[in-house]
Structure 1
Protein backbone atom coordinates (compact mmCIF):
# COMPACT_ATOMS: atom_id res chain seq x y z
CA UNK A 1 0.00 0.00 0.00
CA UNK A 2 1.50 3.32 -1.02
CA UNK A 3 1.81 6.33 1.22
CA UNK A 4 -1.07 8.08 -0.59
CA UNK A 5 -3.42 5.11 -0.36
CA UNK A 6 -6.51 5.47 1.82
CA UNK A 7 -8.67 2.93 3.57
CA UNK A 8 -12.38 3.51 4.01
CA UNK A 9 -14.23 1.96 6.93
CA UNK A 10 -18.02 2.00 6.99
CA UNK A 11 -19.84 1.84 10.33
CA UNK A 12 -23.47 1.99 11.29
CA UNK A 13 -24.44 4.99 13.41
CA UNK A 14 -24.68 2.68 16.45
CA UNK A 15 -21.20 1.29 15.80
CA UNK A 16 -19.78 4.76 15.30
CA UNK A 17 -21.32 6.09 18.50
CA UNK A 18 -20.14 3.18 20.65
CA UNK A 19 -16.65 3.19 19.11
CA UNK A 20 -16.35 6.96 19.50
CA UNK A 21 -17.18 6.70 23.19
CA UNK A 22 -14.70 3.87 23.71
CA UNK A 23 -11.93 5.74 21.88
CA UNK A 24 -12.60 8.83 23.99
CA UNK A 25 -12.24 6.74 27.15
CA UNK A 26 -9.07 5.16 25.77
CA UNK A 27 -7.53 8.54 25.01
CA UNK A 28 -8.27 9.76 28.54
CA UNK A 29 -6.26 6.88 30.00
CA UNK A 30 -2.51 6.57 29.93
CA UNK A 31 -2.50 5.64 26.24
CA UNK A 32 1.11 4.47 26.43
CA UNK A 33 0.17 1.91 29.07
CA UNK A 34 -2.75 0.50 27.09
CA UNK A 35 -1.32 0.75 23.56
CA UNK A 36 2.31 -0.28 23.67
CA UNK A 37 3.22 0.83 20.13
CA UNK A 38 3.36 4.64 19.68
CA UNK A 39 2.91 4.14 15.92
CA UNK A 40 -0.72 3.20 16.68
CA UNK A 41 -1.48 6.45 18.50
CA UNK A 42 -1.80 8.60 15.35
CA UNK A 43 -4.43 6.38 13.73
CA UNK A 44 -6.33 6.16 17.02
CA UNK A 45 -6.46 9.96 17.25
CA UNK A 46 -7.42 10.28 13.56
CA UNK A 47 -10.30 7.81 13.87
CA UNK A 48 -11.53 9.46 17.08
CA UNK A 49 -11.38 12.92 15.51
CA UNK A 50 -13.22 11.77 12.39
CA UNK A 51 -15.97 10.19 14.49
CA UNK A 52 -16.27 13.30 16.66
CA UNK A 53 -16.92 15.42 13.56
CA UNK A 54 -19.41 12.95 12.09
CA UNK A 55 -21.58 12.39 15.18
CA UNK A 56 -23.97 15.19 16.16
CA UNK A 57 -25.25 12.83 18.89
CA UNK A 58 -22.13 13.59 20.91
CA UNK A 59 -23.61 16.97 21.77
CA UNK A 60 -27.21 15.87 22.34
CA UNK A 61 -28.69 16.39 25.78
CA UNK A 62 -29.75 12.73 25.81
CA UNK A 63 -26.31 11.42 24.78
CA UNK A 64 -26.12 8.89 27.63
CA UNK A 65 -29.48 7.38 26.67
CA UNK A 66 -28.53 7.25 22.97
CA UNK A 67 -25.21 5.60 23.80
CA UNK A 68 -26.84 2.97 26.01
CA UNK A 69 -29.51 2.23 23.39
CA UNK A 70 -26.81 1.80 20.73
CA UNK A 71 -24.86 -0.53 23.05
CA UNK A 72 -27.97 -2.64 23.64
CA UNK A 73 -28.66 -2.95 19.92
CA UNK A 74 -25.06 -4.03 19.25
CA UNK A 75 -24.74 -6.58 22.02
CA UNK A 76 -25.20 -10.19 20.94
CA UNK A 77 -28.38 -11.89 22.05
CA UNK A 78 -28.14 -14.18 25.06
Structure 2
Protein backbone atom coordinates (compact mmCIF):
# COMPACT_ATOMS: atom_id res chain seq x y z
CA UNK A 1 0.00 0.00 0.00
CA UNK A 2 1.20 3.51 -0.86
CA UNK A 3 2.14 5.44 2.29
CA UNK A 4 2.49 8.84 0.63
CA UNK A 5 2.28 11.61 3.23
CA UNK A 6 -0.60 14.09 3.21
CA UNK A 7 -0.03 17.69 4.23
CA UNK A 8 -2.82 19.66 5.89
CA UNK A 9 -2.51 23.42 6.18
CA UNK A 10 -4.27 25.27 9.00
CA UNK A 11 -4.16 28.85 10.14
CA UNK A 12 -2.53 29.37 13.51
CA UNK A 13 -5.96 30.04 15.06
CA UNK A 14 -7.35 26.82 13.56
CA UNK A 15 -4.37 24.83 14.83
CA UNK A 16 -4.64 26.34 18.32
CA UNK A 17 -8.38 25.69 18.66
CA UNK A 18 -8.02 22.17 17.25
CA UNK A 19 -5.15 21.44 19.63
CA UNK A 20 -7.24 22.49 22.61
CA UNK A 21 -10.20 20.38 21.46
CA UNK A 22 -7.99 17.34 20.87
CA UNK A 23 -6.48 17.72 24.34
CA UNK A 24 -9.94 17.85 25.90
CA UNK A 25 -11.13 14.82 23.90
CA UNK A 26 -8.01 12.76 24.46
CA UNK A 27 -7.16 13.52 28.06
CA UNK A 28 -10.17 14.99 29.80
CA UNK A 29 -13.19 13.20 28.34
CA UNK A 30 -14.99 10.45 30.22
CA UNK A 31 -16.43 9.05 26.99
CA UNK A 32 -13.53 8.47 24.61
CA UNK A 33 -15.15 5.38 23.09
CA UNK A 34 -18.30 7.38 22.39
CA UNK A 35 -16.33 10.11 20.67
CA UNK A 36 -13.93 7.93 18.68
CA UNK A 37 -15.28 4.41 18.48
CA UNK A 38 -12.77 2.99 15.98
CA UNK A 39 -9.34 2.37 17.48
CA UNK A 40 -7.70 2.82 14.06
CA UNK A 41 -8.68 6.50 14.17
CA UNK A 42 -6.39 7.05 17.16
CA UNK A 43 -3.27 6.72 14.99
CA UNK A 44 -3.96 9.86 12.93
CA UNK A 45 -5.42 11.65 15.94
CA UNK A 46 -2.18 11.12 17.90
CA UNK A 47 -0.11 12.19 14.88
CA UNK A 48 -2.09 15.42 14.48
CA UNK A 49 -2.09 16.15 18.20
CA UNK A 50 1.66 15.55 18.52
CA UNK A 51 2.43 17.76 15.54
CA UNK A 52 0.28 20.57 16.95
CA UNK A 53 1.91 20.25 20.38
CA UNK A 54 5.38 20.55 18.86
CA UNK A 55 4.40 23.51 16.66
CA UNK A 56 2.28 25.74 18.90
CA UNK A 57 4.07 27.87 21.46
CA UNK A 58 0.67 29.25 22.56
CA UNK A 59 -0.11 26.09 24.52
CA UNK A 60 2.69 26.93 26.98
CA UNK A 61 1.93 30.62 27.46
CA UNK A 62 0.53 31.91 30.76
CA UNK A 63 -2.32 33.71 28.97
CA UNK A 64 -3.49 30.48 27.26
CA UNK A 65 -7.18 31.01 28.10
CA UNK A 66 -7.54 34.54 26.72
CA UNK A 67 -5.50 33.63 23.63
CA UNK A 68 -7.71 30.58 23.00
CA UNK A 69 -10.91 32.60 23.37
CA UNK A 70 -9.59 35.28 21.00
CA UNK A 71 -8.69 32.61 18.42
CA UNK A 72 -12.17 31.06 18.75
CA UNK A 73 -13.82 34.46 18.27
CA UNK A 74 -11.79 35.15 15.12
CA UNK A 75 -12.70 31.73 13.70
CA UNK A 76 -16.39 32.21 14.52
CA UNK A 77 -16.36 35.64 12.90
CA UNK A 78 -14.70 34.16 9.82
CA UNK A 79 -17.25 31.34 9.56
CA UNK A 80 -20.40 33.15 10.56
CA UNK A 81 -19.67 36.74 9.62
CA UNK A 82 -19.40 37.87 13.21
CA UNK A 83 -22.42 35.96 14.51
CA UNK A 84 -21.41 33.99 17.58
CA UNK A 85 -23.88 31.15 17.05
CA UNK A 86 -22.40 27.80 16.02
CA UNK A 87 -24.56 25.40 14.06
CA UNK A 88 -25.91 22.22 15.56
CA UNK A 89 -26.42 18.90 13.78
CA UNK A 90 -30.21 19.38 13.64
CA UNK A 91 -30.01 23.00 12.44
CA UNK A 92 -31.14 23.89 8.92
CA UNK A 93 -28.03 23.95 6.68
CA UNK A 94 -29.18 27.17 5.05
CA UNK A 95 -28.77 28.93 8.42
CA UNK A 96 -24.98 28.77 8.04
CA UNK A 97 -24.17 27.69 4.50
CA UNK A 98 -20.48 28.52 4.73
CA UNK A 99 -19.95 26.28 7.75
CA UNK A 100 -21.60 23.31 6.07
CA UNK A 101 -19.72 23.87 2.83
CA UNK A 102 -16.45 24.15 4.71
CA UNK A 103 -17.28 20.87 6.41
CA UNK A 104 -17.40 19.34 2.95
CA UNK A 105 -14.30 21.26 1.82
CA UNK A 106 -16.05 23.33 -0.83
CA UNK A 107 -15.75 26.93 0.36
CA UNK A 108 -13.05 29.38 1.28
CA UNK A 109 -9.47 29.11 2.35
CA UNK A 110 -10.14 27.89 5.88
CA UNK A 111 -7.64 25.07 5.64
CA UNK A 112 -6.31 23.20 2.69
CA UNK A 113 -5.07 19.72 2.14
CA UNK A 114 -2.14 19.05 -0.11
CA UNK A 115 -1.71 15.46 -1.23
CA UNK A 116 2.01 15.64 -0.51
CA UNK A 117 3.04 17.33 -3.74
Structures share a fold, TM > 0.5? Answer: yes
State TM-score, norm by structure 1: 0.91
- Report how far residue 32 of structure 1 moved: 2.0
Question: What SS does the aligned partner of 2:16 have?
Answer: helix
2:65 corresponds to: 64
SS in structure 2 at match of 1:9? strand
Q: C-alpha displacement at 1:33, in angstroms? A: 2.5
Q: Cα distance, 1:34 vs. partner?
A: 1.3
Question: Larger Cα Rg: Structure 1 or Structure 2?
Answer: 2
TM-score w.r.t. length of structure 2: 0.62
1:1-78 matched pairs, under 5 angstroms:
2-3=2-3, 5-28=4-27, 29=29, 30-75=31-76, 76=80, 77-78=82-83
Task: List structure 1 runs of 4+ shifted beyond 4 angstroms.
Answer: none
Aligned counterpart, 2:96: none
- The structure whose residues are more often strand, as a share, is 2
- Report the aligned-residue RMSD: 1.2
More helix by share: 1
Tell me the CA shift for residue 16 of structure 1.
0.4
Partner Cα distance (2:42, 2:21) in 1: 14
Q: Which runs of 5+ in 1 are unaligned?
A: none
Paired residues in the alignment total 77
How far does residue 23 in structure 1 lie from its aligned partner after superposition? 0.4
